[in-house]
Amino acid sequence: MKHSPRDIAESHRRITRRALLLGGAQLAFAGVLTLRMRHLQVNQADRYRRLAEENRLIDKLVPPVRGLIFDRNGLQLAVNAQNYKVIIVKEDAGDVEQVLSRLSRLIPLSDEDLARTRREIARRSPFVPVTIAERLSWESVAVIAVNTPALPGITTEIGHSREYPVGPDMAHVVGYVGPVSDYDLERLDDPDPLLQIPRFQIGKSGVEARMEHTLRGKAGDRRIEVNASGRVMRELARREGEPGAELQLTVDTGLQNFTLARLGDESAAAVVLDTENGDILTAASAPSFDPNKFVRGISLADYRGLTLNKYRPLAGKAVQGAYPPGSTFKLVTALAALEAGVISPEETVWCPGHLQLGDRRFHCWKSGGHGHVNLNTSLQQSCDVYYYDLAQRVGIDRISAMAVRLGLGRKYDLPMSAVHSGLAPTRAWKQGARGEDWRVGDTLNASIGQGYVLASPLQLAVMAARVASGRAVVPRLVRAINGAEQPVLGGAPLGLDEDTLRRVRQALYDVSNSRRGTAYGSRIIGDAFRMAGKTGTSQVRSVRVSNEDVPWEHRDHALFICYAPFEAPRYAVSVVVEHGGSGSGAAAPIARDVLLHALHGGYPPLNAYPAKDRERVREMQDTLPLRDPATLERRSGRA
């Protein structure tokens, strides 16, 4: 069919109009796209450049060096030892099993190390390094270096690991570190991203735990370049972290070592305080344990051996233990009665061997009685009936108030684990804690350090120091942080009558130096170092039975507190021997030896002991398992 010229012209106009519309739409779309591209590439260039950089660059934390811990003489108690590690990268190793087999023939690798390595390789990306073993010797590192061509994918690294040069001696004081656990992350209110670093170690007990933030330091960082798969290509920048603070403690390593050796195989604790400033020179708990095993990964057998030991080596008994203080508490009752004016120092009480209260009889340790006793003879011979009589006159609330005044019944703010507050009970305490009324019999028991009264060895040493000095001595464990001396707390006068204190001190002197004193057998010879003290024996069962007739865990605790020199006190000591039987027989000889060692800065001359004891003391000095001082200094970095 043939179209007319008019139809052809009309058709051409329609086609041209549509082409123009389509071209205009395309041009508009291209214009919008161009404007958008300009907006993204020009206006938003900085933003997308930053996003690209963040995808290409990664910031990683650099763990800080943990702060060192020293004793009062500058001996190192916690150090950061070089830690040689051997690392494997799967993609570089090729045949992993073959490489591990070759490596195990060159250096000692346990089946546990190899099994753990295989598990880590299986669950990590091929380019991620996996630690095979650490704490290698330099000889092992050298062997690996020589055989590098035969060990593809194997490299060595140098890091740091916590080490405790004096081992068990300071385990309960310094504590130990360990890897951050899920339990730690849940328990700690600490946003520090360092805790997320695999195998990062934090303090688990003792000073290491309580001073964690001070010792940890602040992290550094490094910027690394990675490729699209996340593999590290190079390090672009690095900023080292701020190391943790250095701590100097008040403890004396040599004295602590001697004290633990002297406690021997007993389940016991001893504390030595400086009576002037409250410095803790010794806080020993026996038996002890090696904290290095926890850092390196303690075996199940070793851990079970510690937890199942009836002597509880993991417990820091010096501050955690809470014991009935027994007759050491009698000086509290005596001071409360004298301050209240209910008795004079010369007034006597008749002791027939017991005191009858209603239908109950309260016995004295001496069944035949002590006869007429006054303040001096009651402390010297540790008469129970005298204090039963005083207790009825003075009352429990005034006895409790005096106990707190002398340092008992309060928790000291020390960087040690589970510091116990002890207990100086009152009427209100019993009603609140037990829902029962206080009874007169409770007061009688409390007057001789039994019943509800509890005290730690630390608190007993504080009590001795306060009686010796007449001041409110407060214990101190941290001497300096980064060289800055820490303040001495307390020290204000107790406000006790000086004549009253003088009489009580004289009675304590007679405990050790009078022939009828309960600690006469443990006296110190020589006027310059005479000792004052008080024995104590606390029951752990209500029925009086000979200690020889019952199992160890049912025997009485043995206690002794003392200070010396008598005329110008320098040190106060407390010793508690769990189930030791007798304060005069088990605790007093240990306390005397520890006190003499502190006074002389080492073994005292034999003439400081009674003549009958010198041969035994000589044998003891020859056989005690002490650390050699030169070795100690060399291991702690001072030689």
> Rounded CA gap, 564 and 524, in Å?
10
SS3 state of residue 51: helix
According to DSSP, residue 614 is labeled H
pLDDT (tens digit per residue) in 486-497: 999 888 999 999
Q: How many CB atoms lie within 10 A of CB 434?
A: 11
Please give the pLDDT value at position 199.
66
Sketch the domain layout of the chain as residue ranges: 60-247, 253-634
Q: Which two tokens stand for residue 579?
A: 């189930």
Amino acid 3: pLDDT: 62
Per-residue pLDDT band at 638 (split at 50, 70, 90): very low
Of 252 and 95, the structure prediction assigns the larger pLDDT to 252
Residue 56 is predicted with a pLDDT of 64
> DSSP readout, 489-513?
PEEEE----HHHHHHHHHHHHHHHH
Neighbouring CB atoms inside 10 A of 276's CB total 15
User: In this predicted structure, which of 43-57, 554-568, 606-620 has the lowest mean pLDDT?
Assistant: 43-57
Please check the confidence at residue 47 and state whether its pLDDT lies above 70.
Answer: no
Residue 54 is which amino acid? Answer: E
Q: Dihedrals φ, ψ of 17, to 5°?
A: -65, -40
Cα angle 539-540-544, degrees, rounded to a multiple of 5: 55
The arithmetic mean of pLDDT across residues 613-622, rounded, is 90
Q: Which residue has the tokens 């006027």?
A: 527
Averaged pLDDT, 269-298: 94
Local confidence band at 542 (pLDDT 50, 70, 90 cut-offs): low
- Given this chain, do its domains 60-247 and 253-634 carry the same CATH topology? no
Query: 408 and 422 in contact (C-beta within 8 Å)?
Result: yes
Q: Which pLDDT value is given to residue 455? A: 97
pLDDT of residue 40: 64
Q: Could you count the other beta carbons within 10 Å of the beta carbon of residue 322?
A: 17
Over residues 466-490, the pLDDT tens digits come to 999 999 999 999 999 999 999 998 8
Query: Of 156-170, 375-389, 393-407, 504-518, which range is least confident?
Result: 156-170
How would residue 639 be classed by pLDDT, with cut points 50, 70 and 90? very low
User: With the C-alpha atoms ordered 363, 369, 375, 381, is the resulting torsion angle positive or negative?
Assistant: negative
pLDDT at residue number 444: 96
User: CATH: 3.90.1310.10, 3.20.20.70, 1.10.3720.10, 2.102.10.10. Which one for 60-247?
Assistant: 3.90.1310.10
C-alpha dist (Å) from residue 462 to 281, 595, 637: 13, 15, 33
Rounded CA-CA distance 563/462 in Å is 11
Q: What is the pLDDT of residue 60?
A: 67
C-alpha 604/C-alpha 613 separation (Å) is: 13
Catalytic residue among 285, 327, 417, 574: 327
Interatomic CA distance for residues 352 and 364, integer angstroms: 8
Q: Tell me the CA distances in angstroms from 620 to 24, 261, 593, one per residue in order.
A: 110, 10, 11
Full-model pTM? 0.84
Cβ partners under 8 Å of residue 42, min gap 6? none
The larger pLDDT score, comparing residue 261 to residue 158, is at 261
Tell me: pLDDT of 52 over 60: no
**Per-residue pLDDT for 176 more than 60?**
yes
The CATH topology of domain 253-634 is: Beta-lactamase (3.40.710)
Over 112-179, what HEC string results?
A: HHHHHHHHHHHHCCCCCCEEEEEEECHHHHHHHHHCHHHCCCEEEEEEEEEECCCHHHHHHHHCCEEE
Q: How confident is the model at residue 192 (pLDDT cuts 50, 70, 90)?
A: confident
Residue 457: is its pLDDT beyond 90? Answer: yes
Q: Is 125 a catalytic residue?
A: no
Region of poorest pLDDT, from 20-34, 35-49, 407-421, 567-581: 35-49
Residue 117 pLDDT grade (very low, low, confident, very high; cuts 50, 70, 90)? confident
Give the N- to C-terminal CA distance of the chain in Å, as an integer.
118
Q: Is the pLDDT of residue 152 over 60?
A: yes
Q: Between 15 and 201, where is the model more confident?
A: 201
> What string of H, E and C letters represents the secondary structure of 408-467?
CCCCCCCCCCCCCCCECCCHHHHHHHHCCCCCHHHHHHHHCCCCCCEECHHHHHHHHHHH
pLDDT confidence tier of residue 586, bands split at 50, 70 and 90 = very high
- Cα–Cα distance measured from residue 406 to residue 331, given in angstroms and rounded to the nearest whole number: 10
d(CA 612, CA 618): 11
* Closest to 63 measured CA to CA, from 141, 185, 161: 161
What lies within 8 Å, CB to CB, of 347 at 6+ separation is 374, 375
Whole-number Å distance between alpha carbons of 555 and 118: 53
SS3 annotation, 282-336: EEEEECCCCCHHHHHCCCHHHHHHHHCCCCCCCCCHHHHCCECCHHHHHHHHHHH
Look at residue 633 in the predicted model and tell me its pLDDT. 52
pLDDT of residue 575: 98
pLDDT score, position 636? 45
Q: Among the listed ranges 44-58, 69-83, 208-222, 491-505, which one has the minimum average pLDDT value?
A: 44-58
Query: Average pLDDT of the chain?
Result: 88
Token pair belonging to 534: 């008080």
Question: Which residue from 422, 322, 344 is spatially nearest to 390, judged by alpha carbons?
Answer: 344
